[in-house]
Amino acid sequence: MPELPEVETVRRGLAPVMEGARIARAEVNRPDLRWPFPERMAERLTGARVEHLGRRSKYILAGLDTGETLLIHLGMSGRMLVSGDPLGRFHHDHPAPQKHDHVVLHMENGARVTFNDARRFGAMDLCPSEAAAGHAWLARLGPEPLGNAFHEDYLIGRFRGRMSPVKSALLDQHVVAGLGNIYVCEALHRAGISPTRKAGRIAEGRVAALVPVIREVLTEAIAAGGSSLKDFRHSDGELGYFQHSFRAYGREGKSCQTPGCHGKIRRIVQSGRSSFYCAECQR
């Protein structure tokens, strides 16, 4: 599933052709994806101007001049693909319609934005913009890891007394929004913290030091365009490249890259997910 860096990369790719542009025509080619689409979705989108394209956790939020916000979740394999971009940043020709093109936005500026989702775990919804923060998908999310509300004192407080593994705590979207398996593994490796350590038993100084490491990993991943493992592509169809910088994730049996460490990366399963770490330098 795309994590925060991948979703932010997609948002940045969509912004030049969607922000300030009007949706000339919207096509909705099926009644649902993971959940049913909102009523009259095509009608409500057609003619609307996109005033702002934002992101909350792993959701893209398109604020419309109709007073509604379009919420988009990419799910496991969802892609937002752009063609016919008038700015010349993407391929000019519109490709032939594909089997899994479920929602197509024909922009007034000549661009076409297609939501393609082979596995259909993605989702879209419309809600009043003034109530978007309280939408069921967003209301209980924790702070953004790159935002001011995510800081050392906050994370220390959320970890205090928590007996679940630190990896589980960081994957809890109520604690911090947008982190997923890949970037938690990478951040814990850089911080030298074992994913099996109980969150509430990590010294406060080490918890505080984890905050800038998380920010560093995410910032580097966004700069690299995210990580392409199976399904993720940019809005122009290109791959992300951060997977070439992985120090832990997917490196089972390979030498640890921490300077001075002679250990090897191990793989264990926690709550059904693979954790990659070095038992020598992650304590």
Q: Which of 99, 134, 169 is the last residue of a domain?
A: 134
**Helix, strand, coil shares, percent, the chain, to 5:** 30, 25, 50
Q: Give the residue from 92, 115, 113, 95 showing the smallest Cα distance to 103.
A: 115
Burial of 5 (0-12, 13-18, 19+ CB in 10 A): buried
216 CA to centre of own chain: 16
- pLDDT recorded at residue 92: 53
As beta bridge partners, residue 49 has: 22
- pLDDT recorded at residue 225: 74
The rounded distance, in Å, linking the Cα atoms of 283 and 230 is 31
Q: Which of 71, 101, 134 is the last residue of a domain?
A: 134
**Per the domain annotation, does 142 fall within a domain?**
no
Which residues carry out catalysis? 2-3, 58, 273
- pLDDT recorded at residue 71: 98
As beta bridge partners, residue 26 has: 105
**Per the domain annotation, does 103 fall within a domain?**
yes
Alpha carbon separation from 30 to 95, 168, 169, 228, 269 (Å, rounded): 20, 36, 37, 27, 37
- pLDDT recorded at residue 229: 44
200 CA to centre of own chain: 27
- Does 195 lie in the same domain as 96? no
Torsion over CA: 106, 110, 112, 113 (sign): negative
- pLDDT recorded at residue 132: 97
**Per the domain annotation, does 139 fall within a domain?**
no
**Per the domain annotation, does 180 fall within a domain?**
yes
- pLDDT recorded at residue 98: 83
Number of domains making up the chain: 2
The rounded distance, in Å, linking the Cα atoms of 108 and 265 is 51
Strand-strand pairing, 265-270 and 273-278:
antiparallel
CA angle in degrees (0–180, nearest 5) for 85-2-70: 60
- Does 236 lie in the same domain as 181? yes
CATH classification of the domain holding 177: 1.10.8.50
Tokens 């947008």 belong to 178
pTM of the model: 0.89
User: Phi, psi (5° rounding) for residue 207?
Assistant: -65, -45
- Does 166 lie in the same domain as 47? no
Q: Domain residues for 87?
A: 4-134
Task: Answer for the pair 38, 125: CB distance below 8 angstroms, yes or no.
Answer: yes
DSSP secondary structure code for residue 248 in this structure: S
For residue 270, the surrounding DSSP H or E stretch is strand 265-270
- pLDDT recorded at residue 227: 55
Q: Which two tokens stand for residue 229?
A: 């493992």
The per-residue pLDDT string of the chain (283 residues; one tens digit each, 9 = 90 and over) reads: 688 988 998 998 899 999 999 999 999 999 999 999 999 999 999 999 999 999 999 999 999 999 999 999 999 888 898 888 665 555 556 777 788 999 999 999 999 999 999 999 999 999 999 999 999 999 999 999 999 999 999 999 999 999 999 999 999 999 999 999 999 999 999 999 999 999 999 999 999 999 999 999 999 888 887 654 444 444 455 543 445 578 999 999 999 999 999 999 999 999 999 999 999 999 9
- pLDDT recorded at residue 87: 58
